[in-house]
Amino acid sequence: MRDRLYIDGAFVAPALGGTFEVIDPATEAVIHHAPAASSVDVDRAVAAARRAFDQGPWRQTTGAERAVMLRAIAAGIRARSEELARLEVLDVGKPLAEARLDIDDAAGCFDLYATHAEALDGAREIVPLADPRFTCTVTREPIGVVGAIVPWNFPLPMACWKVAPALAAGCTLILKPSELTPLTALELAAIVDTAGVPAGVFNVLTGFGPEVGAPLADHPDVDKLAFTGSVATGARVMTAAARSIKTVTLELGGKSPFLIFADADLETAVDWVMIGIFWNQGQVCAATSRVLVERPLYDRLLARLVEVAATIPIGPGLEPGVKLGPLVSRAQYDKVRAAIARAVADGGRIAGGGGRPAGRDVGWFLEPTILTDVPLDADAWREEIFGPVVCVRPFDSEEEAIGIANDSRYGLGAAVMSADRERGDRVAARLRAGIVWVDCSQPAFLEAPWGGMKQSGIGRELGRWGLDAFLEVKQTTRFVGGRRQPWYL
């Protein structure tokens, strides 16, 4: 595990020499002391990225040349996939099988954007003009220096969702991972370095929000901010960006609904509810944590969901067969337990789970929790809990279900399940969310856009939309109509 920052093509000690503890959430043991960056290191990293963009060779590289390096990064991730997956388990607590999928996603992201980088070469649009004396072409060029701030729930994939398209576009960047999960970001730096990316193009600063994230967001030499995290922190990032009119991409929280109609298959519905809320311990921004079930199916689905959730194997992510690991930190564990207690105080009922699993006295483990009778104005129904907690309630009509689903300040994800394909499509069209799943919940594909409406964010990641977020549009107009009479004569 690395104990140095990555700035200007080298692993260097933090300017102020600080470190912070990295804790295994399954054992509560300190497993590493990571380097703690400061605003001094932010200035160093931004200066390096600025030089690399303005004066270095990176901006002049072709998309094809960048693609070679992006594919080398993908290969480097795959060559170390098992090691990286195990680091993620130790850092964030997720089961090893899930961590392996995350590493595959990270490598695939670089391969995808290598192809997109190649497509940039020679790409231009001819714009027809009403005045034949002029021609106009539109091209896209890199936006500049990027500050990328990523969360702890999917540490390496969330980093790669930003790093890969930024590099493909020709940008330089500074990556700030969560202080809870810094390990794989530093390993990514080593992989990028080996791939031959020039010094200063990619930099990694580990540390805390006030000392690293805030000065990075506020830095006048940063051209764009790409942030994934909470609504509250996203608002602060957006405020900082406004001071120097930076472009922002924000992927924020969610409280995604899952509408299940009475004609849905019971077992299939339960399977997708389980994936939608208990994957990654429910620490998923798009988790379908509000489940609305048509009344004729409600009692049977609730009973089956409680029954199946109680069988989920819980334990440290490296133990064979584990499907539900610990929450990421003591603070997150306490926050989720407090949210469950408030839900009960507000009139909700715990139908299943809600406590610490038997035999798990060490580590931040929590049983998968199913709440019913939660009032529509209660925090548990309206606010993101970010843990393995789902609220389930019945509905009586399609209109009622859609109204309840859309009554939220969030709009990241939503799901609908029905044997009636026409109804599924009709309801999907009316759900106010950036991502809508029909007859499923949570699949995410690198090729498709990811992002939300309302307070769930601004802009989109992944696919060609993710590349567009790091490109500026430039118009070039040429006068070709011969000598023109000057207007002042």
Catalytic residues: 251
Dihedral, CA atoms, 348, 350, 351, 355, nearest 10 degrees? Answer: 160
How far apart, in Å, do the first and last CA atoms of the chain sit? Answer: 73
**Where are the alpha helices (H) located in 219-369, listed in sequence order?**
231-243, 266-278, 295-309, 330-345
Q: Record the tokens describing residue 173, joined without a space.
A: 């960047």
User: CA 402, CA 429: separation in Å to the nearest integer?
Assistant: 10
Q: Which two tokens stand for residue 296?
A: 């004729």
How far is CA 367 from each of CA 18, 21, 155, 344, 387, rounded to the nearest angstrom?
Answer: 36, 26, 23, 16, 10
H-helix or E-strand spanning residue 126: strand 125-126
In angstroms, the CA 3 to CA 303 distance is 49
C-alpha distances out from residue 77 to 205, 296, 318, 390, Å: 20, 49, 20, 34
Question: How far apart are the C-alpha atoms of 88 and 57, rounded to whole Å?
Answer: 33
Planar angle of CA 25, 26, 29, nearest 5 degrees: 70
C-alpha 426/C-alpha 408 separation (Å) is 20
H helix or E strand, kind and range, residue 476: strand 471-479
Beta bridge partners of 247: 224
Angle between helices 96-120 and 63-79 in degrees, nearest 10: 170
Tally the residues of the chain: 489
Q: Could you tell me which of 183, 167, 191 has the C-alpha nearest to residue 77?
A: 191
Identity of the amino acid at 275? I
Query: Quick one: the chain helix, strand, coil %, rounded to 5?
Result: 40, 20, 35
d(CA 152, CA 45): 22
Assign 27 to helix, strand or coil.
coil
Q: Virtual CA dihedral for 171, 13, 20, 188, nearest 10 degrees?
A: 40
Contact 129, 109 (CB under 8 A): no
The Cα angle at residue 450 between residues 275 and 79, in degrees rounded to 5:
75
CA-based radius of gyration for the chain: 24
**Pairing relation of β-strands 413-417 and 435-438?**
parallel
